[in-house]
Structure 1
Amino acid sequence: MSSLLSAALLGTSRTAPAFDSLPPEIRDAVGTLGDDPARTLLAAAALERAYRRGGAVAVTADVPPPAPEDPRPTLPQSSAAHLLSLLAAKATLLDDWFVLALERDFRAPDHLVAELLSHAHKSEQHRESILHIVGERGRWLAARNPEWKKLVRHKNSDVDLWRHGTPQERVQWLRDTRRIDPAAALSELEQSWDSERGEHKVAFVTALSIGSSPADASLLERALDDKRKDVRREAAVLSSRIPSSPLAERMAQRVLSWVRVERKLLRSKLVIQPPEEIDASARRDGIEDRPNPQTDYRVEYVRQAISCAPLALWDSVIGDSRKVLATAVDPDWEPVLHDAWTSAALAQRNSEWALAILHTRGLSTDRRLLRLVPSQELATLLRSGNGDANVLNPDRAAVYEALPGPWPEDITRAVLGQWERAGARRADGGSKAGEFSRHRYAASLRLAENRFPYTAVSLLDKAAERARDPDWQQAFVRTAHAITYRRTLLEELK
């Protein structure tokens, strides 16, 4: 074919096509095609392609055992059809849909298993939920398609796959086993750790984040001595999430040596004395020289140590989280300490500290912490009026986003009231009317579609009747329709 392609590219007027490399049967047929070089070239190419495709040798294969039965109830027909459309649209409603479908333990109809696996292969979003829906039959089918290997989840502790599988299969086995038997997965990794290749260790350590517990600390300590920096860094990150780990205890000792409480008659004060240089032990634990144009390099040592130290440390030094945050400190150090405490609260998933930081810093709190704050506390913040400004700007909607639905009626009415006031300002016109366009509120409108209670439909219908601005009227109608649609889809699963 390469000789025919060369002749076609150069043109038969410049070079004569050569047929010597073609199979004998094709050469014989080409000799009967006539004298037109161009027609002969095209015919030869067509004949060779047909010859190649039709000349494949038949192969045999063993018929695989049938897919195992799945006794779970099948998704209702309408729900199965809606699932495909929701996945195609990447709808935010999918989170609620999967929660309810998994709670009812539905399985996908057999004719949709392949299509759902194809979607799970293309996108990580909702992958694990899809794999649960397709169940054993999906696992059976995925195992027979090389492209879907990463979708195979192992529900047993067959250590042969760990001991003899490919690197990708071993990582997947480790992740799957950590979900059902963390101790067994840890034991296997501990036995093989010293013989593992460096480039594989990072993925293995990362897998330990599933089902992480104090039992992992011993292996993570070994990982801190690894030659590869990425392995050491990941081990340090995971160790800092375990407050009782040896690394966390060493970080606590560093904090105690660098930070002291200066007790005065009226108010105590935190005094920080950062080290001029850190020792090899600190570097082993992941403390690095981090250039920061805003702070001294020594400040970064303190920031990293506090971020990795157990928050319980401060109970013995000062008291509970609110007392710690209320303790006086040099203004230059205050943002550094708050940032470090925020990182520690996130790593240790400490709701008490998250709430205390929210009360101290208000709306400047790192939005990631709000997921740790109890929902009733978020609702109280919004009822107080301090969170109202959040809904005015998509970038500041963190409190509303963190509050799970369905929202209480009073908060629903408050949000709707803000929209109506914005719509009225928009209808009144003026130089600032553009600031009250419904497009400025797109984030909160989308959020309401999934968080407003079903009873909000009537409130939105009445708001649409009162609206004087056509765009806002349309927004109220669309949001009401979205809530009705959500109710229909979710009630199908009940």
Structure 2
Amino acid sequence: MTRSPAPVDAPGADVWEGLVTTALLGTDRRTPPGTAPGPDAPAALLDAAAVETVRRRAGLRPARAAGRPQPAPEDPRPALPPAAARRLAMLLTDRPGPSGGGRRGTAPDLTELLPQWLAVANARGFAPPPQVLPALLDAARGRTDLRPAALEFAGPRALWLARLNPDWRFALRATPGGGAALPQLEDEERIQRLWQEGLFAERVALLSALRSREPAAARDLLATTWATERAEDRLMFLDSLRAGLGPDDEPFLEQALADRSRNVRATAAELLSALPGSALAARMAVRAGACVAIDHMRTAQPGGPGVEGEESAGAAKSTPTIAVEAPHECDPGMERDGVVAKAPAGRGERSWWLGQLVEAAPLSTWSRRLGGRMPREIVALPVADEWQGELHAAWCRAAVRQQDAEWSRALLGEPSAPDAGGPGAVSLAERAKLLGTLDAAERAEWVAGFIAAHGLSEAFQLLGVCAVPWAAPLGRAVVDALNIARDAGSYPWSFSGVMGLAERCLDPSEASRLDALLAVPDEPENASPGAGGYWAEAFQRLVTTLRLRAAMTEELGAA
């Protein structure tokens, strides 16, 4: 039987839409125009769609040819060594699949090695081969954590490509000023014009660049338009003053304390409290000092709770106690200086106000206020009426804000302390932040002591703040703790996070120490089923990954 083609005369504007609707509904419910229901309807629909497709294409009017894009900019950096270029292509094309039973197998996860490869390549100043740029931008598009290092390595040609492909527009957003060239900082006329007329991203980039070179000039530029800026823009601009923050910024920040935006006021107060010599810090010191004092009438006896009055009979020594009297109100002056009056749900108002005052007061306040004692002595003092947790938590936040290593050491305490809580830190998150104020070697030493005393069950968050590659004492502590867990037949999957960190952070020189752990161990009676095989597999992957990282570094060092 001969099929009749679908009619094509005098098509209306909605012919294509009608064919699409017919396809969605099905030809048993709706047939193309001029076609009877039946077995020929599907073929008639396809014929009609083909004809309409040709008609639509033939009806396009020719457009003006677009101009050719400007040539890609030159990248003056030296080219990658050939072996490193091949390695990069391998890292970018790897698509790991799940192993059987959800296990990762013994093969390294190459996608997790890409950030480290990029860090080394950037440190050594290499430029990427042009042909890998699309794959590199695709990888950065899918992983926001990869973008800063990937875009630094990709260089100016990544921005050139991003202007041609909408899928890579994130590169323009992630680059200060959207990839636009900023004026030379000596060109005052162009700086003023860009500040007055530029896009928001360009203005932020300009302010940040100027702040890094001439902090006072950046602040003065911001002051010229401060009163007319939107609140959300004022907040972003004010945040840029963190770089190079100094006493000369105090008058401007004091003025910002009267801003009509609460968020702007809070940020200004935070910045001022990070300047121990500021007037706001002095006001907070007076307020916080009025709440915290030594109570000589109340002492803590060795081995027992605090008691009133003189030492009890037979006690060899008594310890002074810190007494706390939290604020009874949040007055307008406190609010102007950044204290948030409304407490979060479930939080008492007075403890909320106290924490903010102590956090914003210079830490030098407390030695003068509490009898000339050093931070370790202050932190060791008992605190009356269950205020210790609140007081110490506020000191932790102050130590992080003011980057005070001495107070951080006091609040961290010894890593081997019972429960590893230290005398002041009340959470792993706080300990991690306090560790961030110490230098890399001291940080690694403290975390190594923590692992040696308490194992790996709570160490994951602390390991994340340690410099990579891990220092030798920390690496040894991690390997020893993993070996202990292996010999004990511990549930192996609970250590997968630490094992993943070790693959990325252990010094590759540790690989030789792990060879003895590659065999499947004898499983104790109470061991998790299959634990021995998992541990052997995990250590094999760790050793292979470490040796691969060593090879990557050597390739990037080749001439």
Provide, for residues 96-126 of structure 1, a one-character-per-residue CA deviation record: whole Å limited to 9, x for no partner. 4344323322222333345444544554424
Give 1:322's aligned amino acid: R
Q: Which residue of 2 aligns with 1:187?
A: 220
Cα separation, partners in 2 of 1:105 and 1:373, compared to 1, 3 Å:
same
Superposition RMSD on alpha carbons, in Å? 3.5
Percent of pairs identical after alignment? 29
Residue of structure 1 aligned with 2:485, choices 399, 412, 422:
422
* SS state at 1:208 partner: helix
More RCO (CA 8 Å, sep 6+): 2
- Shift of the 277–56 alpha-carbon distance from structure 1 to 2, 3 Å rule, reads farther
Task: Map 1:29-428; keep pairs closer than 5 Å.
Answer: 41-43=48-50, 45-51=52-58, 54-61=60-67, 64=70, 66-83=71-88, 86=91, 91-94=111-114, 96-120=116-140, 123-142=143-162, 147=169, 148-150=171-173, 151=175, 152-153=178-179, 154=181, 156-157=184-185, 158-159=190-191, 160-263=193-296, 266-291=318-343, 296-318=348-370, 319-359=373-413, 362=417, 363-364=420-421, 365=425, 366=430, 367-381=432-446, 386-388=450-452, 390-393=454-457, 395-407=458-470, 409=472, 412-426=475-489
Q: Alpha carbons of 1:77 and 1:63: their partners in 2 closer, same or farther (altered >3 Å)?
A: same
Distance 1:379 1:60, change over 3 A: closer
State the partner residue of 1:467: 521
> In structure 2, what is the Cα distance between the partners aligned to 1:49 and 1:165?
42
| Unpaired stretches in structure 2, ≥5 consecutive residues | 1-11, 35-42, 95-108, 300-317, 523-531
Contact 2:78 2:126 in 1 (8 A): yes
Q: Does the CA contact (< 8 Å) of 1:311 and 1:345 recur in 2? A: yes
Aligned residues of 1:390 and 1:399 also touching (Cα < 8 A): no
Instruction: Verify the 8 A CA contact 1:390 1:397 in the aligned structure 2.
Output: no
Task: Identify if the C-alpha distance between structure 1 residues 106 and 338 changes in structure 2 by more than 3 Å, giving closer, same or farther.
Answer: same
Which residue, 481, 495, 519 being the options, matches 1:441? 495
- Say whether 1:3 aligns with 2:8: no
In 2: Cα distance, 1:180 partner to 1:80 partner? 35
Letter in 2 for 1:310: P
Q: Aligned equivalents of 1:420 and 1:60: distance in 2? A: 64
Cα distance change of structure 1 residues 200 and 94 upon mapping to structure 2, 3 Å threshold: same
Equivalent residues of 1:240, 1:247 under 8 A apart: yes
Q: Residues 93 and 253 (structure 1 numbering): CA distance in 2 closer, same or farther, change over 3 Å?
A: farther
CA–CA distance in structure 2, aligned partners of residues 173 and 388 of structure 1: 48
TM-superposed CA distance for 1:287, in Å, is: 1.0
Look up the SS of the partner of 1:372 in the other structure. Answer: coil
Residue 510 of structure 2 is matched in structure 1 by: 456
Q: Give the TM-score of the pair, scaled to structure 1.
A: 0.81
Whether the 8 Å contact between 1:101 and 1:493 is mirrored in structure 2 is yes
- Give the C-alpha shift of residue 351 in structure 1: 1.9
Structure-2 change in CA distance of 1:127 and 1:219 (3 Å): farther
Distance 1:485 1:240 in 2: 47
Contact 1:387 1:399 in 2 (8 A): no
- Distance (whole Å) between structure 2 residues aligned to residue 45 and residue 82 of structure 1: 49
TM-score normalised to structure 2 length? 0.72
Change (3 A) 1:310 1:77: farther
CA distance in structure 2 between the aligned counterparts of 1:442 and 1:306, rounded to whole angstroms: 39
Shift of the 408–281 alpha-carbon distance from structure 1 to 2, 3 Å rule, reads: closer
Aligned residues: 464
> 1:257–1:331: structure 2 CA closer, same or farther, 3 Å change rule?
closer
2:248, 2:255 → 1: CA distance? 13
Contact 2:195 2:203 in 1 (8 A): yes
Does the C-alpha gap of structure 1 residues 475 and 51 become closer, same or farther in structure 2, counting only changes over 3 Å? Answer: same
1:4–1:17: 8 Å Cα contact kept in structure 2? no
Which runs of no fewer than 5 residues in structure 1 stay unpaired? 19-35, 427-435
Preserved contact between residue 159 and residue 172 of structure 2 (Cα < 8 Å): no
Q: Quick one: distance in 2 between partners of 1:442 and 1:243?
A: 43
Does structure 2 conserve the Cα–Cα contact (< 8 Å) formed by 1:390 and 1:400?
no
Output the CA distance in 2 between the equivalents of 1:217 and 1:84: 51
